[in-house]
Amino acid sequence: MEPHTAAAWHSHPSPVYVYVIEGEVTLEVEGETKTVKAGEAVAEPLDARMRAINTTDQPARAVVFQISPKEKAFLEEEAQN
Protein backbone atom coordinates (compact mmCIF):
# COMPACT_ATOMS: atom_id res chain seq x y z
CA MET A 1 0.00 0.00 0.00
CA GLU A 2 1.51 3.28 -1.08
CA PRO A 3 2.07 6.10 1.46
CA HIS A 4 -0.93 8.33 2.22
CA THR A 5 -3.47 6.13 0.44
CA ALA A 6 -6.73 4.51 1.52
CA ALA A 7 -8.68 1.52 0.28
CA ALA A 8 -12.35 1.93 -0.59
CA TRP A 9 -14.93 1.41 2.14
CA HIS A 10 -16.01 -2.24 2.11
CA SER A 11 -17.10 -5.21 4.22
CA HIS A 12 -16.12 -8.87 4.28
CA PRO A 13 -18.76 -11.62 4.32
CA SER A 14 -16.16 -14.22 5.45
CA PRO A 15 -13.34 -14.19 8.03
CA VAL A 16 -10.29 -12.18 6.92
CA TYR A 17 -6.92 -11.99 8.68
CA VAL A 18 -4.22 -9.44 7.89
CA TYR A 19 -0.52 -9.89 8.68
CA VAL A 20 1.59 -6.76 8.12
CA ILE A 21 5.01 -7.58 6.66
CA GLU A 22 6.41 -4.06 6.28
CA GLY A 23 5.38 -0.62 7.51
CA GLU A 24 2.04 -0.11 9.20
CA VAL A 25 -1.60 -0.07 8.18
CA THR A 26 -4.44 1.63 10.00
CA LEU A 27 -7.78 -0.17 9.88
CA GLU A 28 -10.80 2.07 10.23
CA VAL A 29 -13.80 0.01 11.27
CA GLU A 30 -17.12 1.81 11.67
CA GLY A 31 -15.45 4.94 13.06
CA GLU A 32 -12.84 3.26 15.26
CA THR A 33 -9.19 2.90 14.23
CA LYS A 34 -6.48 0.35 14.98
CA THR A 35 -2.91 0.56 13.71
CA VAL A 36 -1.26 -2.74 12.81
CA LYS A 37 2.55 -2.66 12.54
CA ALA A 38 5.04 -4.96 10.83
CA GLY A 39 5.05 -8.35 12.56
CA GLU A 40 1.50 -7.96 13.87
CA ALA A 41 -1.73 -9.58 12.72
CA VAL A 42 -5.40 -8.74 13.15
CA ALA A 43 -8.74 -10.39 12.41
CA GLU A 44 -11.14 -8.13 10.54
CA PRO A 45 -14.75 -8.17 11.76
CA LEU A 46 -17.43 -9.80 9.63
CA ASP A 47 -19.89 -7.60 7.75
CA ALA A 48 -18.49 -4.39 9.29
CA ARG A 49 -17.97 -1.23 7.21
CA MET A 50 -14.21 -0.72 7.04
CA ARG A 51 -11.17 0.41 5.08
CA ALA A 52 -7.37 0.23 5.31
CA ILE A 53 -5.28 3.40 5.33
CA ASN A 54 -1.53 4.02 5.10
CA THR A 55 -1.06 7.35 6.90
CA THR A 56 2.75 7.17 6.84
CA ASP A 57 5.45 8.33 4.44
CA GLN A 58 6.56 4.71 3.87
CA PRO A 59 4.95 1.93 1.81
CA ALA A 60 3.25 -0.91 3.69
CA ARG A 61 2.97 -4.56 2.69
CA ALA A 62 0.60 -7.12 4.14
CA VAL A 63 -0.58 -10.65 3.53
CA VAL A 64 -4.35 -11.10 3.63
CA PHE A 65 -5.93 -14.48 4.37
CA GLN A 66 -9.61 -15.15 3.76
CA ILE A 67 -11.35 -18.26 5.02
CA SER A 68 -14.32 -19.03 2.80
CA PRO A 69 -15.49 -21.15 -0.09
CA LYS A 70 -13.67 -20.07 -3.27
CA GLU A 71 -16.94 -19.04 -4.93
CA LYS A 72 -17.74 -16.54 -2.17
CA ALA A 73 -16.82 -12.88 -2.78
CA PHE A 74 -13.68 -11.55 -1.05
CA LEU A 75 -15.29 -8.24 -0.24
CA GLU A 76 -18.32 -6.13 -0.92
CA GLU A 77 -17.15 -2.67 -1.96
CA GLU A 78 -19.37 0.32 -1.36
CA ALA A 79 -20.46 2.33 -4.38
CA GLN A 80 -18.62 5.62 -4.56
CA ASN A 81 -20.68 8.80 -4.64
Residue 21 has pLDDT above 80, yes or no: yes
Cα–Cα dist 40/77, whole Å: 25
Indicate whether 18 pLDDT > 80.
Answer: yes
Give the residue among 16, 9, 10, 11 at the shortest CA–CA distance from 68. 16
pTM: 0.80
Q: For 2-10, what is the mean pLDDT? A: 94
Quick one: which of 65, 70, 72 has its CA closest to 15?
65
Given this structure, which CATH class describes domain 5-69? mainly beta
Identify the pLDDT of residue 76: 67
Q: What is the pLDDT of residues 37-75, one digit of tens each?
A: 999 999 988 888 999 999 999 999 999 988 877 776 666
Q: Hey, where are the domains in the chain?
A: 5-69
